[in-house]
Structure 1
Amino acid sequence: MRTGAAAGHVGYFHTAGCFASDEDLLALAVPFLMDGLASGEPSVVALGERHAQLVRAALPGGAAATFLPGGAVYEKPAAAIRSYRKILAGHVADGASQIRIFGDLTAVTQGVTWDWWARYEAAINRAYDDFPLWSICAYDTRATPPAALAEVMRTHPRTALPGGRHTANTGFTDPHRYLSEQPPPAPDPLQSGAPTVQLIDPTLSEARQAVRTADRGFVAPEEVDDLVVAVSEMVANAQRHGHGPVRLRLWSGSDRLVATVTDSGTGPKDPFAGLLAVGDGANGGLGLWITHQSCNHVAMYRDADGFTIRLIAGNPHR
């Protein structure tokens, strides 16, 4: 049986919780978690270290909430979805009729990589909708940029308020429509200069070698290996599902490698591709999903040149 504000709701009850002080954070987290524990519901906390310490200290001793390392959970959006779905499936298999999660994204994720976390917040409306989940996604208004908060209101159907109240977000946008928008991301500063390598219609072997050529030894070898695979997958996708010519460009910096693959097509038809494993991989869905698991930042967008996917290995936060 569902309890609290989610009583009678089927599927994912997805809420944002904005707070401007430590007291506001605890007013959101503690009653939410305590009510869940009192009802015998698995209650999960995934917060940054400081916020986790505040919430842990405010709960009674012995409270059975499960604390996850927020920084590890929210390393990459597609990996977070995969991990949470495994956790949720386990609780449902154990008989849970409702699961509660209280989590936050760090200030780092709300910087230049916010675009794919905003896509995450939209995509999980579908990704978790086959579970009896109620979550509060906590956002610290002292650290979250106004533009990111505006996207929070578009990706969450409702906002949680202290005292257990909820308000509908009038700006909430259907996830399919939201994910279909795909505006260009903020340019990486490296892209203001000439590419280290630029190829037109490369073979897959040439694409893989191009990444090796651009690598100057500043990025961890395993991350370079992941980028080699990702670039190869995206060039293959462009050749198979897009329209030529296919252009591969790579830039190398002191802490990262940036790659873009552009073709004159329109990109994947399914806007959830990449964040969710799409069927049998039709139209590049499986390759995009693998790429989102392995790269440190992925952005997809359409402009006058066609469809572009940008991949970053190393430090995406520059």
Structure 2
Amino acid sequence: MTGIRPTGDWDGRTFAHEGFAFRTDRELIDRVVPFAAEGLSRGEPVLVVAGERVRTLLADEMGADVARLATFSPAETWWRGGHGTLRAYDRDLRQLRASVPTWRLVAEPVWLARDDGRKWSRFEAVANRCYEDMPYYSLCLHDAERLPAVVLEAVARTHPLTWGGDTPVPTAAYEDPQQFVRSVQPEWRERPRSATVTSVVTPKEVRRGVLDRLVDGWGARADDAVLATHELVTNALRVSASAEVACWFEADGLIVEVSDQGPGLPDETLGYVPPRNDQEGGRGMWLAWSLADDVAVASNGTGTRIRLYFSH
């Protein structure tokens, strides 16, 4: 397979993010094996985290070279929800960066086939922003015979690179991370007249306003709703003299909306990015996003509204 350039012009200094959709075993092998072999020949750690079928195919094709991989582990054990999975992923990335100059990763997010795993596309999108200075190549594998068309569409929109047959090429459908996240968040509708609306000037007022809307049976979810709302109100009061908290029920869930009249969010993707130890901002958003089942944002230069969705 002469002429194949598994990583194209990647220089090993910044993040490269490729989405590779395969339909046959041969397509998979022809893409992954040269990618791994090139890394091993250059002395770069090569990590493979994939489903059982993919691991079996690679083990058969690579033979003894599998033992040279830095990691060869099952993806099935990795899913911990979007925030939990990215938190573990982020920890491992930063440990790698502290120990090696560059590396490459082959990853198959098998959980995208699950209803509760499809939100992972949002984390794939923001990775392009939060890991842009990480010196590694991420080759993300997606089984086009198994995954729904809507998931494969999201893959194209969240990966700046795709496979061109002999080298990686730019993905035509790729979108800015913030644009993508906004497009897949819950549809924004006007809040109902039945909503309870409270103006607050201190975060401690949140508990009473939210708990008043919750009846028996919510248990720990009530605590999640209160803590998440508290974090957003704290952020809002840093940029606005007061914040407004609105609560209402929709279907079997609770929706809490926090709004302010500040200058707007500088980066809406922070709720999907694990905060670093030396980071001053963004922790409240990350915590609120991780506690809620879903989030929607409307933000501009005259204010911000954030909706948190909690299922019963």
Query: By the TM > 0.5 criterion, same fold?
Result: yes
State whether structure 2 residue 245 is matched by structure 1 residue 247. yes
Residues 263 and 26 of structure 1: is their aligned pair in 2 closer, same or farther, counting only changes over 3 Å?
Answer: farther
Structure 1, residues 135-169: CA drift from partner, whole Å, max 9, x if none?
1122333454545444433332210256x532222
TM-superposed CA distance for 1:50, in Å, is 5.5
Residue 155 of structure 1 corresponds to which residue in structure 2? 158
State whether structure 2 residue 275 is matched by structure 1 residue 273. no
Aligned residues: 302
Unmatched 5+ stretches in structure 2: 1-5
Residue 167 of structure 2 corresponds to which residue in structure 1? 165
TM-superposed CA distance for 1:200, in Å, is 1.8
Residue 46 of structure 2 corresponds to which residue in structure 1? 43
Distance 1:93 1:266 in 2: 37
Residue 185 of structure 2 corresponds to which residue in structure 1? 185
Residues 273 and 43 of structure 1: is their aligned pair in 2 closer, same or farther, counting only changes over 3 Å?
Answer: same
Choose from 10, 14, 21 the match for 1:11: 14
Q: CA-atom RMSD, angstroms?
A: 4.1
Structure 1, residues 181-238: CA drift from partner, whole Å, max 9, x if none?
834723499x99886x6232145344324544555566672x5433321111112223
1:1-318 to 2 correspondence within 5 Å?
A: 4-5=7-8, 7-48=10-51, 51-52=54-55, 55=58, 59-60=62-63, 63-64=66-67, 65=69, 66-68=71-73, 70=75, 73-104=78-109, 106-108=111-113, 114=118, 117-160=120-163, 165-175=167-177, 178=179, 182-183=182-183, 185-187=185-187, 198-202=196-200, 204-215=203-214, 221=220, 223-242=221-240, 246-251=244-249, 257-263=254-260, 265=262, 267-276=264-273, 277=275, 280-282=279-281, 285-302=282-299, 307-313=304-310
Unmatched 5+ stretches in structure 1: none
Provide the secondary structure at the position in 2 that maps to 1:107.
helix
Distance 2:280 2:64 in 1: 47
Q: Which amino acid is the alignment partner of residue 112 of structure 2?
A: A
TM-score by length of 1: 0.72
Identity fraction in percent: 25
Retained in 2: the 8 A contact 1:219–1:257? no
Residues 214 and 235 of structure 1: is their aligned pair in 2 closer, same or farther, counting only changes over 3 Å?
Answer: same
Structure (1 or 2) with the larger CA radius of gyration: 2
Retained in 2: the 8 A contact 1:45–1:101? yes
Retained in 1: the 8 A contact 2:50–2:106? no
Structure 1, residues 277-301: CA drift from partner, whole Å, max 9, x if none?
387545xx22112223433433323
Retained in 2: the 8 A contact 1:184–1:302? no
Q: Tell me whether 73-82 or 229-238 shows the greater mean CA deviation.
A: 73-82
TM-score by length of 2: 0.73
TM-superposed CA distance for 1:269, in Å, is 1.4
Residue 3 of structure 2 corresponds to which residue in structure 1? none
